[in-house]
Amino acid sequence: MRVSVIGCGYLGAVHAAAMAKLGHEVVGVDVDATKVATLSAGDAPFYEPGLPGLLAEVRSTGRLSFTTDIAEAAGSDVHFVCVGTPQKHGEFGADLTYVDAAVASLLPHLGPGEVVVGKSTVPVGTAEAIAARVADAQPEATVLWNPEFLREGFAVQDTLHPDRIVIGAPATDAGERATAVLSQVYAIAIAEDTPVVVTDLATAQLVKAAANAFLATKISFINAMAELCEATGANVVALADAIGHDARIGRRFLNAGLGFGGGCLPKDIRAFMARAGELGADQALSFLKEVDAINMRRRVRMVDLARDVCDGSIVGRRVAVLGAAFKPDSDDVRDSPALSVAAQMGLQGATVVVTDPQALDNARRAWPDLRYAETAQQAVADADVVILATEWSEYRALDPAELGALVAHRRMVDGRNVLDPAAWRAAGWTYRALGRP
């Protein structure tokens, strides 16, 4: 089938390559000429494991092209809208500028029978508004909503083999026909027995917001337990293991530590609250305020813990922060807890050196005032305290004795609860972690 993908960021670039891999003829459209040039050359514009290989593979088939010219999307059976919906400046709501612009640019090129498929995470009601605009411009085109649940770091796998496909469609014949077209696009995944949930537009938009709200709540729940563990001398890791054995609870997403960040969970729960307020249902989501607050408190607590191990003051202390990305296997630093901690410590008088295997360029752009080092070994040189802020596997595998030879003081604050306390203490380190004695 002929497919266009509008917006080639973390979501769209992977989606475009994956659709080509599934055998479709794909054009990726983005307003950023540099990104288009990079993708056209077969390179990934950001770090995502598996994406360079996938791009190379589909490039050789000739089924994937990238352009800044939306007119090249004309004639596609399906147009996927994959642009970002960041948080508005100074407000909780989602900024729909990019979605609105993408739809506006597409309207003049829409043909009869074509299907516009929204994948961006949007406040409920957005799809209906887009459908009205599309109906004005091309009455024989149909709008569907098909939220994306991919995780950065696993985006290729999650796109090719999703754990579910959600299709929001209007309850009309045209809606049914469009759903059949989209099901054909996903025929391979559907043949793999991927569950498909077909629903109305409002539910499909809410599914995404609800899923991210649940995940954020799960993380903040265990981090709230970590606060109680800190107050009682209990161990949040053992607690998570124990409650996680209950299949109704499950152990995944119960890793206590610095909390969630990134381009999705923080802004999505805020946009969800803002939208609920507009709908007069703000009480339903007031608990998300607490979820957000617990999450942000972890960052402050981390700085306090570091100050504690430095005998009460970080002024003039040399702090090494391992990790800048909001999570491992990503170069994304949007709302990164690691950088938030590094910046706070810098503002409080510490000399902070940050390192990351992939995210240094993005980190430098976001926080130019921090110091950066290429490797963990360089970052920890003469450090008074080391903070593990992002659990990259190479940091989890660090040898306490080897690292101990480089630092000024053997003090480790494990922000992700991933190191073995006994091994680090045996090598002479003062080891502290969030939610563990």
Report, in Å, the least distance between residue 68 CB and ligand UDX.
Answer: 26
Q: Where do we find the tokens 């191990």?
A: 309
Contacting residue, 215, 276, 322, 383, with ligand UDX by CB under 6 A = 215
Among positions 4, 38, 179, 212, the unique one binding ligand UDX when judged by CB under 6 A: 212
143 φ, ψ to 5°?
Answer: -105, 130
Q: Which stretch binds ligand UDX (CB under 6 A): 71-79, 174-182, 185-193, 254-262?
A: 254-262
Select from 56-64, 142-150, 308-316, 421-429 the region that touches ligand UDX (CB under 6 A).
Answer: 142-150
- Of 209 and 319, the one with the shorter C-beta distance to ligand UDX is 209
Closest separation in Å from C-beta 82 to ligand UDX: 12
Length of the chain: 437
Q: How far apart are CA 236 and CA 213, in angstroms?
A: 22
Asked about 264 being catalytic, the answer comes back as yes
Our finding on whether 254 is near ligand UDX (CB under 6 A) is yes
Rule CB under 6 A: say whether 274 interacts with ligand UDX: no
Give the integer Cα–Cα distance in Å for 377 and 366: 23
Instruction: Provide the minimum distance between the beta carbon of 59 and ligand UDX in the complex, in angstroms, as a whole number.
Output: 25
Is 149 a residue that touches ligand UDX (CB under 6 A)?
A: yes
Q: Identify which of residues 142 and 212 has a Cβ nearer to ligand UDX in the complex.
A: 212
Segment interacting with ligand UDX, rule: CB under 6 A, options 39-47, 148-156, 352-360, 425-433 = 148-156
Does residue 7 interact with ligand UDX by CB under 6 A?
no
- Considering only 150, 273, 386, 407, the residue that binds ligand UDX (CB under 6 A) is 150
- Minimum CB separation from ligand UDX for residue 30, in Å? 20
Residue 257 binds ligand UDX, judged by CB under 6 A = yes
In this chain, which of 166, 219, 276, 386 binds ligand UDX, going by CB under 6 A?
A: 219
Q: How many residues bind ligand UDX (CB under 6 A)?
A: 20
7 vs 257 by CB, closer to ligand UDX: 257
260: contact with ligand UDX by CB under 6 A: yes
Q: Say whether residue 396 binds ligand UDX (CB under 6 A).
A: no
- The region of 13-21, 136-144, 252-260, 406-414 touching ligand UDX under the rule CB under 6 A is 252-260
Give residues in contact with ligand UDX (CB under 6 A): 148-152, 212, 215, 219, 253-255, 257, 259-262, 264-265, 326-327
Kindly list the catalytic residues: 264
